[in-house]
Amino acid sequence: MSENRIRLSQIYKPDVSGLVEEIISGSSIIGPSGATGPSGATGAAGPSGAAGPSGATGSAGPSGATGAAGPSGATGVTGTSGASGTSVTGPSGATGAAGPSGATGPSGASGQPVAQGSDKQVQVNSGGATMIGASNLYYNHSSTPNELHASGANVKIGATGIIESTGGYDAYMYIEPTSDDFVIRKSNQTHQIIIDGDVGNVGIKLPTGTQPTYPLDVSGEALFRGTGSQKVVIDHDADGSEILLYNSAGSATAKLSSHANSWVDNLRINVATVTGAVPASATGAGTSGQIALGGGYLYACTGTNAWGRVQLSTF
C-alpha cells in the first residue's frame, strides 16, 4: 500500500544497499522464483526392507438373507414363420448300374417285426443270421450260471448239467454236487444210472440218491443177450433168485434156483460130490429126482416123499 512505500531516492546512496537488505530480511516479501536448474543424476536404489508379518485373517461375516425372487416376465409373442422360398429342381442325372443284391434275411412273423436278441445273447439261426429272428443256438449270459441253448434239438447246457426236453419230460446228465457222482435220469423217474465219483462203481436203475456198492450194481432183473436167441436171465421173486440159461433155439436148458429145484438138461458129470442129509425113512420129505449119499447107501427119490436105496460095496 502507499503508506508502506519508501522513496529510495531520498536515502543517501552509500547506505542504500544495507537499508534494502534490512528491509528485505525483515519483511515477508518473497521474490519471484528463479528457473529450475537441471536435475542431478539419480542415485542407486537402496536395498528393500524386510517384509513385515501378515496380520491374522478376520472371521467371515454372516451371510445375508436371500432376497425374494422377482416376478417372471411375460412370455413373448411367437413370431410367424416367413414364407418358404421356392427351390428350382435341376434335371436328374443318369441312373448308374445296379449293384449286386444282398442275401435275403429271415422273414418275421406275418405282420410282426423280426425279433432281435438281447445284448446278453449271441444267437445263430437256421438261416445263418446272427442276433436276428427266433434263436436256434444261443449263449444266454443273463442266467446264473450261464447257459448254452440249442433250441432246435431241445438241448440246454447250464447249471444243472445237460438237459434235453422230450415229450414233456426233461432228461438230465449232471454231476451230483454232494457226492461228486455222474447221474443220468429223466425228470419223471425216481431211478437213475450213476457212476460213483470216488471209486467208479456203476449203478443201473438205482433209486435216486442210492450209490452203487459193487463195480456193477443193478437193481431188479437182468438180461444178457447173445447174437441169436441164446441169453442169460437173472430173476428175483418173493422166495429168492434164479438164473436161467437159454440155448440158441430160445429154450431154457439149465436152471439154478435158491429156493426151488435146480436142473440141467443133458448133464454130463465127470466127478460129483453129493452132500446133504439122507432121508430118515422111505417116506421122508423129497422130490422126484433127488439123491443123497450116506451110511454106505445111495438114496434116490422116486416120487414125492418116496425114497429107495442101494447098499454100496467095495470093488
- Reading phi first (left if > 0) and then psi (alpha if -120 to 50, else beta), residue 107 is in beta
Q: Does one domain contain both 179 and 204?
A: yes
Q: Does one domain contain both 187 and 149?
A: yes
238 domain residue, yes or no: yes
116 domain residue, yes or no: no
28 domain residue, yes or no: no
**This prediction's pTM:** 0.43
Please give the pLDDT value at position 108. Answer: 46
Pick from 192, 235, 196, 244: nearest CA to 216 = 196
Please give the pLDDT value at position 204. Answer: 92
Q: Does one domain contain both 241 and 202?
A: no
277 domain residue, yes or no: yes
Q: Does one domain contain both 249 and 201?
A: no
Sheet holding 297-303, edge to edge: 291-294, 297-303, 306-311
**Domain end: 172, 199, 214, which one?**
214
Q: Does one domain contain both 283 and 237?
A: no
Classify burial at 211, counting beta carbons within 10 Å of its beta carbon; exposed 0-12, middle 13-18, buried 19 or more.
Answer: middle
76 domain residue, yes or no: no
Q: Does one domain contain both 153 and 210?
A: yes
What single-letter amino acid sits at 247?
A: N
pLDDT tens over the chain, length 315 residues: 555 555 555 544 555 555 556 655 555 555 566 677 777 777 777 777 777 777 777 677 677 777 777 777 666 655 555 555 555 666 777 777 777 765 555 554 443 444 555 555 555 554 544 444 445 566 666 665 566 666 555 666 666 667 766 666 778 788 887 888 888 888 888 888 989 988 899 999 998 888 899 999 999 999 999 999 999 999 999 999 999 999 999 999 999 999 988 889 988 888 888 888 999 999 999 989 889 999 999 999 999 999 999 999 998
Q: Does one domain contain both 242 and 261?
A: yes
153 domain residue, yes or no: yes
Q: Does one domain contain both 208 and 125?
A: yes
Neighbours of 37 (CB within 10 A): 6
Q: Does one domain contain both 168 and 132?
A: yes
Q: Does one domain contain both 257 and 176?
A: no
Number of domains in the chain: 3
Cα–Cα distance for residue pair 24/12, rounded to 1 Å: 18
Cα–Cα distance for residue pair 111/89, rounded to 1 Å: 38
Q: Does one domain contain both 289 and 261?
A: no
**Domain end: 197, 214, 231, which one?**
214
Q: Does one domain contain both 139 and 194?
A: yes
208 domain residue, yes or no: yes
| Dihedral angle, C-alpha 93, 97, 99, 100, nearest 10 ° | 160
Which domain covers residue 164, as residue numbers? 121-214
